[in-house]
């Protein structure tokens, strides 16, 4: 998707670099905007995304759970409670494989839940597969 902007909320800089690099290696050339916590991504969505981007822009959110200020579960809940923002697909991309976290995120509207593998090589493969998915998924415009 040409007008798709990927919003990545990840407080671990090394993991954010791995995600961005491996999405690029998977053929994703879309703009990726990195946020350090859920509060930053919510501010962006409520201020910047709704007023400063063309009407034909689509967003896809990659959201970590464990972040400072506003965590991923709280950010997901606020996004999905907003009548305008709720149609943005949110993919949880987190180290947590806790069944309660998984249930919570699906119950609150996440599109997919990906537990980050522990080893670098497996994490790299998971992000490559995510990139292949992003290349074929259809995302609604705001």
Which residues contact residue 57 at a Cβ distance below 8 angstroms, ignoring those fewer than 6 apart? 3, 4, 5, 49, 141, 142
pLDDT digits (tens, 9 = 90+) for 79-118: 999 888 899 999 999 989 999 999 999 999 999 999 988 7
Is 0.85 surpassed by the pTM of this model? yes
Banded model confidence at residue 48, pLDDT cuts 50, 70, 90: confident
Q: In b/e form, how buried is each residue of 64-97, taking b as 16+ CB within 10 angstroms?
A: bbebeebbbbbbbbbbbeeeebebbbbbbbbebe
pLDDT digits (tens, 9 = 90+) for 110-140: 999 999 887 888 888 888 888 888 888 888 8
Residue 50 above 70 pLDDT? Answer: no
pLDDT of 57 reads 81
The highest-level CATH class for domain 17-136 is: alpha beta
Structural domain boundaries in the chain: 17-136
């Amino acid at each position: 998707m040409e007008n798709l902007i990927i919003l990545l909320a990840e407080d671990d800089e090394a993991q954010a670099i791995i995600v961005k690099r491996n999405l690029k290696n998977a053929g994703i050339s879309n703009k990726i905007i990195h946020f350090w916590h859920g509060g930053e991504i919510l501010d962006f969505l409520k201020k910047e995304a709704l007023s400063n981007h063309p009407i034909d822009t689509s967003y896809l959110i990659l959201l970590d759970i464990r972040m400072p200020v506003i965590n991923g579960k709280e950010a997901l809940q606020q996004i999905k409670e907003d009548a305008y923002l709720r149609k943005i697909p949110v993919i949880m991309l987190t180290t947590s494989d806790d069944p309660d976290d998984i249930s919570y995120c699906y119950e609150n509207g996440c599109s997919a839940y990906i537990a980050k593998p522990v080893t670098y090589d497996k994490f790299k493969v998971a992000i490559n597969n995510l990139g292949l998915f992003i290349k074929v998924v259809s995302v609604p415009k705001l």
